[in-house]
Amino acid sequence: MEMHTCQVCNKLFASSGPRICAACMKRLDKVYERAREYLRDHADAELNASSLAEAIGEDVRDLEILIAEGRFERDTTAADPEERRRQQLLSAFQKSLGDSSGSAAADRRTTYGRDRHGRD
Ligand SMILES: [Zn+2]
């Protein structure tokens, strides 16, 4: 096994792959959990290391590393306007599939009723 310098705490440690030592990894996992929870509760919060660190009371450096590692990418895709629009369209589409006949009939009925009412 090779010796690596932890990119978080700069301590030398033995590793075959990751460049973050076990102690930092453990801490980062906790920070990640907290940050993810925060982002989930604050959908409009921007993915910014310093504001996020302040919000959850963690070290800004830990958050910078998590962001640099792309840990939040999967969780924040929904915050991306383009992606959010896509998901809205998708859920609207799925909804229309679910009760397409129902809503279409309701629309027709409304128009029909209004027409009849107008004629009366
Ligand atoms: Zn470390």
User: Tens digits of per-residue pLDDT, 70-96?
Assistant: 888 755 455 567 777 777 787 887 788
**pLDDT tens digits, residue range 24-41?**
999 999 999 999 999 999
Q: How many CB atoms lie within 10 A of CB 48?
A: 13
Taking a 5 Å cut-off on Cβ, the residues next to ion ligand 1 are: 6, 8-9, 21, 24
Find the 58 Cα to ligand 1 centroid distance in Å: 16
H or E element that contains 93:
helix 81-98
Return the SS3 of 15: strand
Distance from residue 5's CA to the centre of ligand 1 (Å): 8
**88 or 105: which carries more pLDDT confidence?**
88
* Angle in degrees, CA 4, 2, 15, rounded to 5: 65
